[in-house]
Amino acid sequence: MIAAVRDPSSATSKSLAKLPVGPGSTLITVLFDASSETSIKNAINTLTSLFPIKTVNVVIAAAGIVEFEGTVLQTSIQGTRDQYNTNLIGNLALFQNIFPLLKTSEDGALPKFVTISSTVGSIGDMENWPMNATAYGMSKVALNWLTKKIHIENKGLIAFSVHPGYVFISLPNIF
């Protein structure tokens, strides 16, 4: 099992060592910053050069940020670029760099590339989620498109987006 984390020295990252792993399995923690293509390449290089990793069966691309909430008129252009960089471009770079390991997937199963989306990234359900997370929502719509495109273009691979679940917070007039 591989855990790609922004800060391997943080208490949260270190707590991953307490998770149970299957027989014969080990947890490898590697530095990974989805906003940096160099970090993504370095993480893959670390896995293949320091560990005997020749294949990856499942990738769950969970990196994402929500740094700003506001209407379309309030949304920062630079903030939008930053969120696209992590939420979309980071997933594209991850897929491009991990693909050589995915295409050698073992155990007869098709490799899987799973992205984490959000209801905020649903165009059809936008009226039901009136959150002012404009830049975040746009980045998740684009991520959903990218994930579907990955699935279509790679017949020996399964790619799909998942919504991690509803988080009920105290926002007036929503629930």
Indicate if 140 belongs to the active site: yes
Q: Provide the terminal-to-terminal Cα distance of the chain, rounded to the nearest Å.
A: 38
Alpha carbon distance 152, 3 (integer Å): 27
Catalytic site residue from 18, 112, 136, 166: 136
- Which conformational region is residue 25 in: left (phi greater than 0), alpha (psi within -120 to 50 degrees), or beta? beta
Angular region, 131: left φ>0, alpha ψ -120 to 50, beta rest? beta
Maximum distance among all alpha carbons in the chain? 54
Residue 166 catalytic?
Answer: no
- Of the candidates 14, 18, 140, 148, the residue annotated as catalytic is 140
CB 88 within 8 A of CB 150: no
CB 108 within 8 A of CB 56: no
Tell the residue number behind the tokens 């830049």, with chain if given: 135
Counting every residue, how long is the chain?
Answer: 175
Report yes or no: 67 and 84 within 8 Å, Cβ to Cβ.
Answer: no
Q: Which residues are catalytic?
A: 136, 140
